[in-house]
Structure 1
Amino acid sequence: MTSQPFDVADELRSLIAQGSISVDALHAVTGIRPDDLQSFLGENGGTGLTTDPQSLTVDQGARLALLAAQLTEGMRIGSNERLKAIFESLTVECRLSPQNLTQLTGVPVEDIESVLRDPRTVPVEKRYALAITGAYLVNAFNQARG
């Protein structure tokens, strides 16, 4: 079995061609200048590689690679797994306990603990509320990181 390497520029060009995202949206999301994005993407017939060492920093390239993977491969992850990952991120990465999350959200601690074990055991209506609340908190904490 042969695996194909993940070509960041190719994946992003494909997303743009499908109308899933635009260079303008990539700029807004990443803060990378549109000219640098277009140079990286090879919008003018290039290969996605550039001889201009200033077009993308290592950090920018890494962030684009992560974004491209999340917008392509990551979108195949099921909703239950995604919900569990949101709350794992809040408890592991942000170091919030289920009790902290209950105090912040008003969601019963039992529901948060159930989502962390197996989201399928939580009724759909509660999963929806947990998803919205969890996504809001992740966004708030990401904005605080700067």
Structure 2
Amino acid sequence: EWTAARTGGVVDARFIAIIDTAIESPLGQIAMIPMLAWIAKNAPAHLKATFFAVMASFTNLALSAASLGTKYMNEIYTVTREVRDRVTDVIQTTADYSELGWLLITVATIGVAAPLLTVVLIQNSRLRTQQ
């Protein structure tokens, strides 16, 4: 509602959802390139397809974990927008963005720390590569 009011109805929730979906799909495919390069370089020739299937499974697992993480972050950090009754214009839910900053900091920290921690753990285990 806020963006629609300020853009003359051009940018509304539907517009944002369509643009988000249109951008997310190609970027998701581009994100697969480092994994494919790693498989091509490190997997034995007769196991490349198996490595790719396992990595695709890990990608699906990561997506499921991200959904669960989002659910729990929303339970820990409460962020609400103002909701008004359409008929009476009475506020039913007040806006509360007081925890939004901490939510963004937490998500950014996890987004950087989790992959780095994984790399450190793998490189210090017997699973590390020699390249």
TM range (shorter): 0.3 to 0.5
Comparing both chains, which one has the higher relative contact order based on Cα–Cα distances under 8 Å and sequence gaps of 6 or more? 1
TM-score by length of 1: 0.31
TM-score by length of 2: 0.33
- Highest CA radius of gyration, 1 or 2? 2
